[in-house]
Amino acid sequence: MSHAKKLFETLVREHADMLTVYLRSALGNVSDVDDLFQETMVVAWRRLDDFDHTRPFGPWLRGIARKLLQAHYRQARARRYTPAILDRLEARLAQLGHHPGDTWRDKLEMLRGCVQALPEHYHAVVTLRYFQEQAVAQLAHTLRLSIAAAKKRLQRARALVLDCMERKLAPLSSPVDQP
Amino acid sequence: MTPDPSWKEDVLRLAGAWIDGHDDGTPAAGAASPPSEHGEVTQRYLADLLLVDALLSNMSHDAARVRERRIRRVMQALDEPAATVPARARVLRWAPLLTAAAVLLVVVLGSWIQFARQSLADDVLTAVNEVSAEATDRVYSFRRVQAAGEAGGEPAGRLYLRGRTGLVIVCDQAVLGRNADQFWVVVPPQEVFLSHDFQWIDARATQDEVGLRFVQQLSLESRHIPLMQLASVAELMQHDYDVTVSRVQFGPRVADLLQGQRRSARADLPAIIRLWSDHASRIIQRAELSWAPDNTLVLELLPAELVADQWYDYPAHCQGVPAVQHVP
């Protein structure tokens, strides 16, 4: 592998989680995330000469991903996502990028704290859904809830995590105006 | 956030329909209206909820493995232009070989059937192996059948597995576990034995008349323990067993029954292994590891349980500060 490719692999590794989160937020479908992730990184590699090395790599990568997402929406005739949603995602990820921490994982420590601080019944539903990757029907069975109740509990848990995240990000809130 | 519960509830429902509606990410029918029908405040809150879902999804046990797979795919894709052979050229290059192979297969039809069966078994086993290696917690009951034809009595205990290296066995008197390369036994009140080889722990604990009691209580032998890591068993079958596969009904499910006959003379390995894996999910529903007709270990999948992240480390099973002994 050439030296340039080794350096690029370092960049891919460093930004893989951020890009995955961005694409997942904007797509939902996991197999589309795989394809768009690869396409974004390959385009980034081919256009690396256009990258201004004095600026951060993450926003540039998201810029490429956004163009590919818009093409994907047109092709798939997906009308769910609007420019306002993509703008908001970009702003939130930029805000996370400014949060203290050397790595993406470090920056997300506050999110782990938010999950830990959830009341027990919300913590359980988040753990089963996200950490153990159980389908909603399966976790409903595990927790002896109806599927509708399990979905409702998940909705509220996500809202609580968001509230907590906002509180922790607030001292640094630069680019994101409150809704 | 604006503290207006009515619009928030609407967005929560909308986001919930997008996120939890179907596994492929499409919303539940009729549950979601296009976001363009909502105001910008709603759309921004919706985006925040989608982001929270994505952030949490990326914290799963399996996220690291998926990330590595994606990175590998990218790095391979970067090399592709130089190595790419046009599809038609590839077909032409392989055509004579495929023809010869087809002729050979016709001639040796009997061998082909056998080969096809083994190949199918190998594919199923590979899929089972990959699913078993995922860092997802699964719980099994286990019991030892010690007489030919015996259905088996009450389960001896509960076995927790996470991928290739997380194992915890809980019984009344002790807890045995493994995380990565470290095996451990927690013996009440606060004694812990650690080793990189379970047999060393067993030998030491037996000498102290601790492990003997523990193993006997579970009706197990020390050679059984490493094989209870079902991901290892699936891998073992790929290398050391002649494996066949057949489609069977397993309760309400369709399952693939993998039957492996040991090729080597190693008596520490079961002579016969049978795995029933769910045809759709490839999750092992039941396993039988048989050293002899009167020595069979049976594992059966139980409903999922919520366990802590650190469940596979011994401190999760100790109260207070334990006395830790490294063995040997």
DSSP state of B318: -
Q: Which residue of chain B comes nearest to A9, CA vs CA? A: B75
What is the distance in angstroms between the Cα of B62 and the nearest Cα belonging to chain A? 8
Dmax (CA) of chain B:
77
Chain A nearest C-alpha distance from B42 (Å): 8
Task: Give the number of other CB atoms < 10 A from CB of residue A150.
Answer: 24
* Fold classification of A104-173 (topology level): Arc Repressor Mutant, subunit A (1.10.10)
Of A21, A34, A159, the CB nearest to B12: A159
Residue A12 has pLDDT above 70, yes or no: yes
CA dist B287 and B281 (Å) reads 16
Residue B62 has pLDDT above 80, yes or no: no
Q: Do domains A3-95 and A104-173 have the same CATH topology?
A: no
Buried b (16+ CB within 10 A) or exposed e, B109-133: eeeeeeeeeeeebeebbeebbebbb
Mean pLDDT of B146-171: 78
Per-residue pLDDT for B276 more than 90?
Answer: yes
What is chain B's mean pLDDT, rounded?
76
B280 at interface of A, judged by CB pairs closer than 8 A:
no
DSSP state of A127: I
User: Are A179 and B44 in contact (CB < 8 Å)?
Assistant: yes
Q: What is the pLDDT of residue B3?
A: 42
- Select the residue of A88, A127, A178 nearest B47 (Cβ to Cβ): A88
Just give the CATH number of A3-95.
Answer: 1.10.1740.10
Nearest to B177 by CA among B307, B306, B290, B270: B307
Whether the pLDDT of residue B226 is over 80: the answer is no
Of A21, A26, A158, the CB nearest to B49: A158
Which chain B residues contact residue A128 at CB under 8 A? Answer: 304, 306
Q: Are B17 and B23 in contact (CB under 8 A)?
A: no
Residue type, A16: A
Say what angle helices A147-169 and B5-20 make with each other, to 10 degrees. 110
Residue entry with tokens 């194992």: B167
Is the CB of residue A43 less than 8 Å from the CB of residue A37? no
Per the listing, tokens 């032998």 go with B221
Angle at CA of residue B108, ends B107 and B109, nearest 5°: 100
**B127 in contact with A at a CB cutoff of 8 Å?**
no
Taking 50 as the threshold, does the pLDDT of residue B101 lie above it? yes
Best to test chain B binding among A133, A160, A167, A178 (most B CBs inside 10 Å): A133
Q: Which residues of A touch B303 (CB under 8 A)?
A: 141-142
Given a contact cutoff of 8 angstroms between Cβ atoms, the answer to whether A71 and A39 are in contact is: no
Give the architecture-level CATH label for domain B129-326: Clam (2.50)
Residues from chain A contacting residue B137 (CB–CB below 8 Å)? 132
Helix axes A109-116 and A147-169, enclosed angle (nearest 10): 130
pLDDT tier for residue A21 given thresholds of 50, 70 and 90: very high
What is the residue extent of each domain of chain A?
A: 3-95, 104-173
State the pLDDT confidence band at B106, using cuts at 50, 70 and 90.
low
Task: Write out the two tokens for B267.
Answer: 């008596």
Residue B128 binned pLDDT confidence (cut-offs 50, 70, 90): confident
Inter-chain residue contact A84 with B44, CB threshold 8 Å: yes
Return the percent helix, strand and coil in chain A, to nearest 5.
75, 0, 25
